[in-house]
Amino acid sequence: MKFLGKLLLVVVIVLLLAIVAAYFLLQTRWGATQVSNWVNDNSDYHLTFDVIDHRFSSPSHVLLKNVNFGRKGNPATLVAKTVDIGLSSRQLTDPLHADTILLQDGTLNFSPSAAPLPFQADRLQLNNMAFNSPTTGWDLSAQRVMGGVSPWQPVAGNVLGSKTQIQMSAGSLTLNGVPASNVLIQGSIDKDVVTLTTIGADMARGSLTGDAKRTADGGWVVNNLRLNDIRLQSDKTLLDFFNPLTTLPSLQIGRVDVTDARLQGPGWAVTDLDLSLSNLTLIKGDWQSDDGRLSMNASEFIYGSLHLFDPILNANFSPQGIALQQFTSRWENGMVRTSGNWYRAGHALVLDDAAFAGLEYTLPENWKQLWMDDLPPWLNTVTLKKFSASRNLVIDIDPTFPWQLTALDGYGDNLQLVREGKWGVWSGSAKLNAAAATFNRVDVRRPSLALNANGNVVNITELSAFTDKGLLEAKAVVSQTPDRSVNVSLNGRGVPLNVLQEWGWPALPISGDGNLQLTASGSIRADAPLKPSVNGELSAVNVQKQQVKQSMHGGVVSGGVVAPPATEAPAQPAPAQP
């Protein structure tokens, strides 16, 4: 019995010595190499580290130094100077489930191909880490990350796990190309639902705070979002800048507030922007709202050739459409003001009042083409219930027929300017007059125009202007058919007889001042020139009682001088000048 007792004691001592030897050997480079080789040879992962460190002052913690770990054939998932593994009694039943894992001074690469990982922890902590996730749909890169995930149970396709709490901060972060700093994120993951209860960051020399949730279908619910003092310069056009919003399955906005923002991109810019948007849902290029509101103002807004100063916009959203309560802006050295409604049914824009005052506006070079182009599907009709203009200057610099209207005033009622996505004057009435005008280098004074339109024709009931010495008066009818046939009747009294030469009629064989009468018809189709379609009759008499009658057929004039009859009355004197 004594022998068996001594033998048992020797065995125990040998085992203790072996355990102590193994304990110290594992904390050498040789021990670290043996553990790494065993993992590499018996798993789908590669592992290297320099040394294992254990201290009796913290008996439940094991430290690995200079760790490199990942799935074979893939880039390393983890590179860290120190990995602190906190152990507990759970290791007796589940050796690969740690109490805590602390990663310090390294990089985590989140990739769906790296998960699941063979170990878990009640809490994963990060200290001065960087992480990247370029292949997860969120092109994310962060540095100086602090925080943790609890619990940490990585699953296939998700390194963070399917159900966990998140609390992290980052010194700097770039998400889908947008940089930020001093980032704070708190929230949770529940399968495909990501809830961010706190979001805070400094970005674009401003700040961002809010909370949001990503739904299971990939859509987002933004409960609150505040952007302050943003100074963002983008390389994207305005449409491309907002395009990511249209690619989401849905974006539900509870409230978004923007204060003193400055944004700029190719061909667009906005300065000192204040914006408040609430209760609006964007769904694949469309929107829905029961009680949405938009309030916006800025110092300056530029989009292409459009340049607005001090624009103010207030609108309400509802299932029926958009109520435009107010839009005012300084534009082209003048003022624009309007209000009205856009109706979802029929995609109709009805403006209750539209006013233009003091504009100095030069039409774009391609304005005629823009006039003929189809409008987007959401703008099928445009109607002005009330229209007014005061002291405006309008210029067309088309070299083939330049014109200018000075001090243009006017008003209109129930003008339908767009029908079935096409510009025109489809119904309503208007009256315009100006202090002076120039049409292809011919100066006139007090030009005036009155019209009324219906579904069949546009009736120009008054078209008059004073020339240098006389008065021109005309009436016209323009059909609403695609060929846009026009019938014009023009009378001139005491006018220079060459007045029509600059407007397309060949020079007359008589000169001086006198009276003239013109009746003409033609077609102002968009896809064909006007002159070949013109047929007309012109008669004129000057103060010397010389007469001429000419005809135009297909743009070609025939006719000549005719001696006046003996009984012909002299030409009527010109009316008094205004």
The owner of tokens 């009468």 is 517
Residues 218-226: what's their mean pLDDT? 93
Query: Which tens digit of pLDDT belongs to each residue from 142-151?
Result: 899 999 899 9
Which of 132, 169, 130 lies closest to 147, judged by CA? Answer: 169
Lookup: tokens for 564: 């006046």
Closest to 168 (Cα-Cα) out of 220, 250, 96, 108: 108
Residue 506 has pLDDT above 50, yes or no: yes
Alpha-carbon dihedral angle through residues 262, 264, 270, 274, given to the nearest 10 degrees = -40
Distance, CA of 38 to chain centre:
56
Domain ranges of the chain: 332-466, 471-578
Distance (Å, rounded) from C-alpha 549 to C-alpha 435?
33
Question: Would you state the pLDDT for residue 524?
Answer: 84
Query: How many angstroms separate the CA atoms of 447 and 527, rounded?
Result: 29
> CA 562, 565, 568: angle at the middle one, nearest 5?
115
Per-residue pLDDT band at 46 (split at 50, 70, 90): confident
**pLDDT at position 219 over 70:** yes
Tens of pLDDT, residues 550-567: 998 877 877 766 656 544
Q: What's the whole-number average pLDDT of the chain? A: 86
Radius of gyration, alpha carbons of the chain: 40
The whole-number pLDDT of residue 31 equals: 65
CA 41 – CA 449 distance, rounded (Å): 93
Please tell me the predicted confidence (pLDDT) of residue 569: 43
Sorting pLDDT into bands at 50, 70 and 90, what band is 570? very low
Number of Cβ within 10 Å of residue 222's Cβ equals 19
Mean pLDDT score, 271-290: 93
Q: Is residue 26 scored above 60 in pLDDT?
A: no
Q: What is the mean pLDDT of residues 191-215?
A: 92
pLDDT of residue 132: 84
pLDDT of residue 471: 95
Confidence bin at 574 (pLDDT 50/70/90): very low
Q: What is the pLDDT at residue 554?
A: 78
First to last CA, the chain: 142
**CB burial string 362-379: b at 16+ within 10 A, e below:** eeeeeeeeeeeeebeeee
> What residues have CB less than 8 Å from 450, skipping those under 6 apart?
429, 430, 431, 432, 460, 461, 462, 463
Tell me, what's the pLDDT at 125? 93
Sorting pLDDT into bands at 50, 70 and 90, what band is 484? confident
472: left (phi over 0), alpha (psi -120 to 50) or beta: beta
pLDDT score recorded for residue 463: 95
Q: Which two tokens stand for residue 519?
A: 């009746």
Average pLDDT rounded to a whole number, residues 507-530: 87
**pLDDT of 77-135, one tens digit each?**
889 999 888 887 777 778 788 889 999 999 988 776 666 677 888 899 999 999 887 66
- How far, in Å, CA of 307 to CA of 288, rounded? 30
Provide the token pair at 370.
Answer: 């823009």
The residue-averaged pLDDT of 405-428 equals 95
Q: Decide if 39 contacts 14 (C-beta within 8 A).
A: no
Q: Is the pLDDT of residue 448 over 70?
A: yes
pLDDT score for 411: 96
Contacts of 240 (CB under 8 A, 6+ apart): none
Q: What confidence tier does 7 reach under pLDDT thresholds 50, 70, 90?
A: low
Band (pLDDT 50/70/90 cuts) for residue 464 is: very high
State residue 371's pLDDT score.
87
List the beta bridge partners of residue 273.
261
